[in-house]
């Protein structure tokens, strides 16, 4: 009994909760089984996150606030993830976010043994710095062109090379509304879901096995919460 209480206290104190709890989810018409491997609710600290670039990154009322209205930033989760998985989080776009960028690097990795975190001093957040090493890049933003200003654009790219693989248009994001974003990663296939609905899917020509996940924000103020990664245990 005492050991159980100690374990529960450690879990409550830690911002990273390795739950190892299994659950089922119906995604894209399939009943899938998952096991939680990482959860972050941003209530305690940001020690598991590494920002690169110019932005105000802070915890506000138990959420991650990223104010990059005057700059750009990539924020790496320091944990490496491997294999088929589900990455998800809640996000709110603030009303003064003119560019409306809610982007994500998935399974990013550098070919050298040192890896991404060891080379962070080499980067200042410029977008093209992340196009030089392997990653799946998902771009979610309200349209900026004159004919599609009121549309939501989903782009899926492959790095290195910034290769555009797929693009879709939808109704625009609503400022102030909380959205649930999910990436079902079954390398080389990635499915993007917004509030449970599939908005884009791609089978990439390159299969990435493991790497880091990074939030990417440009000239946008966003609020993140409930970042979760779960391992897919059936396919």
Confidence of residue 231 (pLDDT cuts 50, 70, 90): very high
Find residue 198's DSSP bridge partners: 193
Q: Which CATH number fits domain 2-232: 2.40.128.640, 2.60.120.200, 3.40.47.10, 3.40.50.2300?
A: 2.60.120.200
**Average pLDDT rounded to a whole number, residues 59-73:** 94
Q: Buried b / exposed e across 149-173, counting CB within 10 Å, b at 16+?
A: eebbbbbbbbbeeeeebbeeebebb
Respond yes or no on whether the N-terminal peptide bond of residue 188 is cis (omega within 30° of 0): yes
pLDDT of residue 93 exceeding 70, the answer is yes
Ranges 14-18, 38-42, 43-47: which has the least confidence = 14-18
Domain ranges (residues) in the chain: 2-232
- Residue 222 CA to residue 68 CA, distance in Å, equals 8
Q: What is the pLDDT of residue 191?
A: 98
Q: For the chain, how big is the Rg over CA atoms in Å? A: 17
Considering the chain, what percentage of its residues have pLDDT values greater than 90? 74
Average pLDDT over residues 135-140: 97
Of 73, 66, 71, 72, nearest to 94 by C-alpha is 66
For residue 229, give both structure tokens.
Answer: 């990664």
**Exposed / middle / buried, residue 8 (Cβ in 10 Å: 0-12, 13-18, 19+):** exposed
- 94 vs 65, higher pLDDT: 65
d(CA 68, CA 101): 10
Cβ partners under 8 Å of residue 131, min gap 6: 137, 159, 160, 161, 162
Least confident of 11-20, 49-58, 144-153: 11-20
Peptide bond into 160 cis (omega under 30): yes
CA angle 151, 154, 158 (to 5 degrees): 155
For residue 16, pLDDT beyond 70:
no
199 or 101, greater pLDDT: 199
Residue 15, pLDDT above cutoff 60? no
């Amino acid at each position: 009994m005492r050991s159980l209480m100690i374990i529960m206290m450690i879990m409550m104190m830690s911002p990273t909760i390795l739950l190892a709890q299994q659950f089922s989810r119906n995604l894209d018409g399939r009943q899938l089984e998952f096991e939680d491997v990482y959860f972050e609710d941003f209530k305690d600290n940001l020690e598991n996150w590494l920002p690169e670039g110019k932005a105000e990154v802070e915890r506000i009322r138990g959420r991650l606030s990223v104010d990059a209205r005057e700059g750009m930033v990539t924020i790496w989760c320091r944990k490496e993830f491997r294999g088929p998985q589900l990455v998800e989080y809640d996000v709110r776009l603030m009303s003064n976010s003119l560019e409306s960028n809610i982007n994500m690097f998935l399974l990013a990795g550098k070919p050298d043994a040192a890896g991404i975190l060891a080379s962070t001093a080499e980067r200042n957040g410029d977008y093209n710095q992340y196009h030089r090493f392997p990653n799946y890049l998902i771009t979610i933003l309200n349209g900026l062109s004159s004919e599609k200003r009121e549309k939501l654009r989903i782009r899926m790219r492959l790095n290195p090379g910034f290769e555009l693989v797929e693009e879709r248009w939808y109704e625009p994001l609503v400022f102030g509304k909380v959205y649930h974003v999910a990436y079902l990663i079954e390398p080389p296939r990635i499915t993007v879901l917004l509030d449970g609905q599939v908005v884009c899917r791609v089978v990439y020509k390159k299969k990435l096995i493991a790497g880091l996940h990074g939030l990417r924000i440009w000239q946008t103020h966003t609020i993140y919460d409930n970042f979760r990664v779960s391992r897919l245990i059936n396919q």
